[in-house]
């Protein structure tokens, strides 16, 4: 769940813009004490006069019992403390006014409500809302807008919408605030619905409303709607300000349309540094960092100098697209020009280097930081996660705890992602236990990471348990659960879960249908798969992506409908990729169709000329068809191109430690015991009738040497270690980085029966559950 760091770092921009009105604000306790003291001795005539003046201005308030004392200086102080980002002090004054029966006017309440939003205290916000109702101030649209904003800041979108729906009057700020609330909560369908309602209500959008709508369209990447909104803004004369144009160009960029963004940028009169920043960051995001660099230099020439937000935006975008070269240049530019590396900017550099795979550079920046918070530690852990550095990531987590830094949800998501990637179930369970023990809130994002971790570590029951307990399920967690079930070959459960999803108000997305089609493919449900593909387009209005076509080719090919699969490829409206042609090639191997296999391999080698795995598979197909001359030609081609097959790597977790093996590995501390177990395994395999499948060994040696090479495949070494290191009858879980070869697949089926073990192997394509001599994949993978 890793791309989330970008949004977390962007939130830090808010802290850069906080400017307290005074560094010497008085202590609210002193003010409260002195005020209480004076009011207890005599009635202040000045306060009475002020109260009467205010009452004259507020005569819309319905008559009723009101406190008799009014202190306008408290209203001023509450506003000052709130604006100075001291919400606790503002709320302390509010509490004093309530206990002393002092009148709190409608001018103070918005600041009090804002203070609640700043510290996300929704309970006190509700109390203040009740006070507003009792005081007869519920007619004020300004107070309602403040309440909507406060509930949004506290993450309670339902309460925000209830306030919005009950407002007797709404102005453009009301609509704009609610749209922004939905956008920030990623409830884009609700935001779109509100935008349509606003248009039907003939509410003319303000500049702020246009900015908020542009933000929603940008996050959804819906260019058509964004373009229509742009035209609407122009017609209503509300799109001329620098801030609006900056929001519009940012929207076009996030929708992948740079040209109209540049046209808007060129037309802006009096460009702000924010406008320059948005356009430069946009070029980087779209992969044209050289144009971004040219624009950056042009900005300097016009005496518009980059600030911290400019540098932060560019660094973040470099990390987002993995542009290490420009990211390094930016880092060097800051050092050469004496740019102060603030805490936030240093954290962004750590994040950028980690995302670009330069983990050592990330660690160097991290070690040089004077201060570090949970985000600094988390982005470095994330970098180690993406680099697959399992041990270092967990060592860093231990150091983080030793430094008395409490991990947050993002930290835990990264650790769970690492466990999922490596298949480290014991570590994943420990992380889950840590979350519960430390009382870390398990929101839907963290619950999704748990579902994904358990599924990818081979514990589908644990995945189902995490899914069942998850709060406020969104479509992402449904997708994770369906994807996990599909990966394990549980097609019926996937289709049942899809039906359950339909009974909720959530809409399936393109990822949902990839899981459904994948499940249908592995179960041979051709009719069901075709029906769901049609529903995706006709009923849900989703445009099929290349992954969906890959699933359909796999579905048809697995069922032996090779000609139909090939026709599907030829009729695709988009260019087929290695997923599509690879699915056809796998089907050709299963059904021994040499002619179509040759077509598929030709296309695959054009797309990936350095991948010799396709030639290896083609050689196997030729060997199965007894076309030995062609086998020799393929082997000669592999030798001449000097392209080496990626080495197989298998890992197994035993007693909380990860053990990795490559073919012929002799470096493990227990190599002697492992080889002794291999000898025992081979003896029992021969007794069970095993004959080595040497067709996949593409080296020019005799058959005996080929059998020896097969014996020392990485997954066999991992299984041998598992057999000597785990309790009898306990499951063995192995993760391999490549597709399981035919010989290892046959061997593992026999071993599961010989040793009465459930052996779970996760390869590049799917999970194989070996039990009592058979595999869940039904010998097609």
In this prediction, residue 184 carries a pLDDT of: 85
Whether pLDDT at 38 is above 60: no
Strand pairing category for 732-736 and 657-662 = unpaired
* φ, ψ dihedrals at 438, nearest 5°: -85, -5
Whether pLDDT at 356 is above 90: yes
The band of 733, judged by pLDDT with boundaries at 50, 70 and 90, is very high
In this prediction, residue 20 carries a pLDDT of: 40
Q: Please, are residues 739 and 763 in contact by the beta-carbon 8 Å criterion?
A: yes
Min mean pLDDT across 188-192, 317-321, 672-676 is at: 188-192
In this prediction, residue 500 carries a pLDDT of: 95
- Residue-wise pLDDT for 269-318, tens only, equals 888 898 999 999 889 988 888 898 899 999 988 888 888 888 999 999 99
Closest-CA residue to 740 (of 748, 730, 751)? 748
Q: Please, are residues 1 and 449 in contact by the beta-carbon 8 Å criterion?
A: yes
Number of H helices, E strands in the chain: 42, 8
More confident residue, 107 or 493: 493
Q: What is the DSSP letter of 89?
A: H
Counting every residue written for the chain, the total comes to: 781
Mean of all residue pLDDT scores within the chain: 83
- Mean per-residue pLDDT for 752-765? 92
Q: CA-to-CA distance for 781 and 253, rounded, in angstroms? A: 40
More confident residue, 440 or 15: 440
In this prediction, residue 238 carries a pLDDT of: 61
DSSP β-bridge partners for residue 141: none
More confident residue, 167 or 345: 345
The per-residue DSSP string of 486-546 comes to HHTT-HHHHHHHHHHHHTSSPPP-HHHHHHHHHHHHHHT-HHHHHHHHHHHHHTT-PPP-H
- For the chain, the 3-state helix, strand and coil shares in percent, each to the nearest 5, are 65, 5, 30
- Residue-wise pLDDT for 511-552, tens only, equals 999 999 999 988 889 999 999 999 999 999 899 999 999 999
Helix (H/G/I), strand (E/B), else coil: 145: helix
- Mean per-residue pLDDT for 640-650? 73
Which residue shows structure tokens 């320059």?
276
Whether pLDDT at 503 is above 60: yes
Whether pLDDT at 71 is above 60: no
Q: CA-to-CA distance for 10 and 577, rounded, in angstroms? A: 35
In this prediction, residue 110 carries a pLDDT of: 80
User: What are the angstrom distances between the C-alpha of 52 and each of 65, 134, 140, 752?
Assistant: 15, 20, 20, 88
In this prediction, residue 642 carries a pLDDT of: 63
In this prediction, residue 135 carries a pLDDT of: 72
The band of 26, judged by pLDDT with boundaries at 50, 70 and 90, is low
Show contacts of 744-749: CB within 8 Å, 24+ apart.
Answer: 744/710, 744/713, 744/715, 744/716, 745/775, 745/779, 745/781, 746/690, 746/693, 747/681, 747/685, 747/690, 747/716, 748/715, 748/719, 748/775, 749/773, 749/774, 749/775
- Residue-wise pLDDT for 658-670, tens only, equals 899 988 888 899 9
Please state whether 464 falls in left (phi above 0), alpha (psi between -120 and 50) or beta. alpha
Sequence-ordered list of residues with C-beta below 8 angstroms from that of 268, at least 6 positions apart, any chain: 242, 245, 246, 275
Sequence-ordered list of residues with C-beta below 8 angstroms from that of 240, at least 6 positions apart, any chain: none
Helix (H/G/I), strand (E/B), else coil: 339: coil
Please say whether the dihedral angle defined by the alpha carbons of residues 469, 475, 481 and 485, taken in this order, is positive or negative: positive
* φ, ψ dihedrals at 326, nearest 5°: -70, -35
Q: How many Å separate Cα 587 from the centre of its chain?
A: 33
In this prediction, residue 52 carries a pLDDT of: 38
- Residue-wise pLDDT for 433-462, tens only, equals 999 999 998 889 999 999 999 999 999 999
Whether pLDDT at 42 is above 50: no
- Mean per-residue pLDDT for 322-337? 91
More confident residue, 557 or 616: 557
Closest-CA residue to 345 (of 366, 321, 374, 323)? 366
- Mean per-residue pLDDT for 217-226? 86
In this prediction, residue 64 carries a pLDDT of: 43
The per-residue DSSP string of 697-709 comes to --SSS-HHHHHHH
């Amino acid at each position: 769940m890793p791309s989330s760091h970008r949004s977390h770092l962007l939130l830090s921009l808010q802290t850069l813009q906080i400017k307290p009105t005074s560094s010497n604000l008085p202590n609210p306790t002193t003010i409260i004490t002195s005020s209480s003291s004076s009011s207890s001795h005599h009635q202040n005539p000045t306060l009475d006069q002020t109260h009467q003046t205010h009452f004259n201005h507020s005569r819309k308030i319905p008559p009723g019992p009101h406190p008799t004392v009014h202190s306008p200086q408290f209203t001023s102080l509450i506003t000052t403390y709130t604006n100075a980002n001291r919400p606790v002090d503002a709320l302390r004054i509010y509490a004093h006014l309530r206990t002393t029966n002092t009148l709190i006017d409608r001018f103070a309440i918005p600041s009090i409500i804002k203070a609640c939003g700043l510290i996300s205290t929704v309970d006190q916000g509700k109390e203040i809302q009740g006070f507003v109702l009792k005081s007869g101030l519920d007619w004020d649209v300004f107070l309602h807008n403040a309440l909507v904003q406060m509930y949004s800041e506290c993450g309670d979108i339902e309460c925000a919408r209830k306030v919005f729906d009950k407002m007797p009057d709404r102005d453009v700020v009301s609509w704009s605030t609610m749209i922004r609330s939905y956008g920030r909560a990623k409830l884009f369908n609700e935001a779109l619905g509100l935008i349509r309602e606003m248009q039907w209500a003939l509410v003319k959008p303000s500049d702020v409303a246009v900015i908020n709508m542009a933000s929603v369209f940008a996050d959804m990447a819906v260019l058509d709607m964004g373009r229509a909104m742009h035209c609407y803004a122009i017609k209503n004369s509300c799109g001329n300000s620098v801030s609006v144009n900056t929001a519009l160009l940012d929207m076009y960029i996030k929708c992948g349309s740079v040209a109209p963004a540049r046209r808007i940028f060129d037309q802006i009169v009096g460009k702000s540094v924010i406008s320059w920043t948005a356009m430069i960051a946009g070029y980087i995001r779209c992969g044209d960092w050289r144009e971004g660099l040219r624009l950056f230099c042009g900005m300097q020439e016009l005496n518009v100098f980059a600030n911290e937000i400019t540098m932060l935006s560019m660094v973040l975008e470099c990390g987002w697209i993995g542009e290490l070269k420009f990211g390094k240049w930016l880092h060097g530019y800051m050092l050469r020009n004496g740019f102060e590396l603030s805490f936030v900017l240093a954290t962004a550099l750590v994040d950028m280097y980690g995302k670009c795979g330069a983990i050592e550079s990330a660690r160097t920046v991290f070690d040089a930081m004077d201060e570090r918070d949970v985000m600094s530690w988390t982005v470095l852990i994330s970098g180690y996660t993406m680099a697959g550095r399992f041990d270092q990531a967990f060592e860093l987590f231990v150091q983080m705890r030793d430094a008395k830094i409490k991990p947050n949800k993002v930290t835990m998501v990264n650790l769970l992602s690492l466990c999922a990637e490596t298949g480290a179930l014991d570590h994943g369970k420990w992380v889950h236990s840590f979350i519960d023990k430390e009382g870390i809130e398990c929101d839907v994002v963290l619950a999704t990471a748990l579902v994904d971790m358990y599924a990818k570590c081979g514990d589908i029951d644990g995945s189902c348990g995490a899914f069942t307990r998850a709060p406020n399920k969104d479509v992402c967690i449904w997708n994770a659960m369906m994807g996990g079930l599909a990966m394990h070959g549980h097609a019926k459960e996937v289709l049942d879960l899809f039906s359950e999803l339909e009974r909720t108000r959530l809409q399936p997305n393109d990822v949902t249908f990839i899981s459904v089609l994948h499940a249908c493919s592995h179960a041979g449900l051709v009719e069901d798969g075709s029906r769901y593909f049609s529903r995706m387009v006709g009923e849900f209005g989703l445009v099929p992506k290349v992954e969906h076509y890959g699933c359909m080719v796999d579905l048809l090919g697995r069922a032996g409908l090779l000609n139909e699969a090939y026709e599907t490829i030829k009729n695709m409206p988009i260019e087929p990729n290695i997923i599509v042609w690879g699915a056809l090639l796998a089907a050709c191997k299963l059904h021994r169709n040499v002619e179509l296999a040759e077509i598929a391999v030709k296309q695959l080698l054009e797309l990936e000329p350095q991948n010799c795995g396709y030639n290896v598979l083609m050689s196997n197909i030729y060997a199965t068809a007894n076309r030995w001359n062609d086998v020799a030609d393929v082997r000669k081609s592999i030798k001449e191109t000097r392209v080496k097959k990626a080495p197989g790597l298998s890992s197994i977790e035993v007693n909380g430690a990860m053990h990795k093996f490559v073919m012929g590995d002799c470096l493990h501390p227990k190599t002697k015991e492992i080889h002794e177990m291999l000898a025992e395994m081979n003896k029992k395999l021969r007794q069970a009738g095993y004959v080595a499948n040497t067709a996949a060994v593409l080296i020019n040696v005799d058959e005996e040497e080929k059998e020896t090479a097969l014996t020392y495949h990485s997954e066999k070494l991992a299984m041998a270690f598992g057999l000597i290191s785990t309790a009898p009858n306990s499951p063995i879980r192995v993760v391999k980085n490549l597709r399981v070869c035919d010989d290892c697949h046959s061997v593992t089926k026999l071993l599961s029966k010989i040793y009465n073990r459930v052996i779970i192997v996760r390869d590049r394509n799917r999970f194989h559950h070996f039990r009592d001599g058979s595999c869940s994949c039904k010998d097609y993978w």
